[in-house]
Copies of this chain bind each other. A is one copy, B any other.
Amino acid sequence: MRYYTNVSDLGDLQAALTEALEVKKHRYDYQHLGKNKTALLIFFNNSLRTRLSTQKAAQNLGMNTIVLDVNAGAWKLETERGVVMDGDKAEHLLEAIPVMGCYADIIGVRSFARFESKKDDYEEKILSQFIKYSGKPVFSMECATGHPLQAFADIITIEEHKEVKRPKVVMSWAPHPGRLPQAVPNSFAQFAVAAGYEVVITHPHGYELDPRFTAGATIEYDQMKAFEGADFVYGKNWSAFQDEFYGKNLEKDFPGQFNEDWRSWTIGARQMAVTNYAHFMHCLPVRRNMIVTDDVIEGPRSLVIPEAANREISAETVIKRMLEDLD
C-alpha cells in the first residue's frame, strides 16, 4: 500500500478486517518490518487519540517515530508558485515537503478542513501535496474530508461486536456548539457501506453530506424512524456541506431560520428504546448531553473506549501494509 486516504486503498475490506484482527492478537510480531524505518507524524492540528495511537502502532512495529507539530502560526508555508516571498511565509511547500520526505520512510499527515474554501478542503490541498511531493508513502491521520483510520477502527469494532451477519447501522447527527468538519461522518458512511451493512444516515434538513461519501446509504430525516431496529448507533456532529452553508452551524449561525428542534437530536434513552438494544458508538472527543446523554455513553452497550483502543490496530494494520510494500 502506497497511500491511505480512503476505504478503497485497503482493497478487499473483508481481507483487511481479517488482517486487522490478526494484528490485534500479535501486535509485536512484525518488528522485522519496521527495523531501521522511521515514521514521521506531522500534525497541522491538535490531536490526542491519533497522536498516541499512531505512535504506539509504529512502535509496535519496531519503527522509530518522529512527531512534528507544525504550528500553523509560526511556520507558514507558501503554496503558490511565482510569488515573491517577501511576506510572512518563510518556506515554500515545494521545498518543505520533499525535505520532510528525506528523513522518513512513511509519513502520516493530520490537516483539518479550514472552511475558508470548500474547493480547497474537498481537493485535500495539503494531503495531496504531500502525496505528490514527498516521495514517500503517505497516510491520512484525519484530513479535510476523511478520517480513514477512525472509520477502519470503527468497522473493526463493529465486526467484534455484531450479533447478526448484516447489522443495521445508523449514523445520527447530533448537536454541538462548534463548527465541526465532515471528515468522520464521510469516512464512516463510506466504510460502513463498503462493509456491507444496512446503513441509515439521519440528520436535520440542511445537514446533507457529500453524496460521493454517502452513496449506498439511506437518508432518513426522521430520527426516531431511523433508529427503529438499529443494531449500532453512531452519534456525530458535523457542520453543513451545502455550498450556501458550507462549514456553518445552522443553529448558531442562522438563529431561528430553520424550523428545527435541534436539541431533540441529542441521543438518549428515548431514541435507544426503539433500537434492537443497539450499541452506541462515537469517535471521541464527545460533548456529553449534547451528542449523547451520560446514561447512554456510560451504559453497557457503549463502545466508545473499544473504538479508541482499535485506533492502535487500524493504524498498525495500515502501516504494516506500507512497510511490506516499501521498495
Chain A residues at the B interface, C-beta cutoff of 8 Å: 28, 36, 38, 40, 46, 48-49, 51-53, 55-56, 59-60, 64, 66, 68, 74-75, 78, 81-87, 90-92, 94-96, 98-100, 102-104, 177, 284-290, 294, 297-298, 304-305, 308-309, 311-312
Contacts and interface: CB of A to CB of B under 8 A. Distances in A.
B288 A78 contact: yes
A152 to B, nearest CB: 16
8 contacts: A52-B99, A56-B64, A56-B66, A78-B288, A82-B294, A86-B177, A87-B177, A99-B308
B284 A81 contact: no
Contacts of A78: 288
Contact of A85 (B60, B90, B288): B288
A90 B287 CA distance: 6
A103 B66 CA distance: 17
Nearest to A55: B66
Contact of A46 (B74, B96, B98, B290): B74
A288 B46 contact: no
Contact of A290 (B68, B84, B98): B84
A98 B285 CA distance: 12
Copies of this chain present in the complex amount to: 3
A287 B83 CA distance: 9
Nearest to A27: B36
Contact of A92 (B74, B91, B99, B288): B288
Contacts of A60: 36
Most buried by B among A53, A68, A87, A102: A102
Contacts of A56: 38, 64, 66, 103
A40 B82 CA distance: 40
The interface residues of chain A, by DSSP majority, are classed as mixed
B284 A102 contact: no
B90 A285 contact: yes
A46 B75 contact: yes
Contact of A81 (B28, B103, B177, B294): B294
B36 A28 contact: yes
Contacts of A98: 305, 308
A51 B96 CA distance: 13
A309 B102 contact: yes
A308 B102 contact: yes
B92 A52 contact: no
B49 A289 contact: no
Contacts of A40: 52
A285 B294 CA distance: 43
Nearest to A54: B103
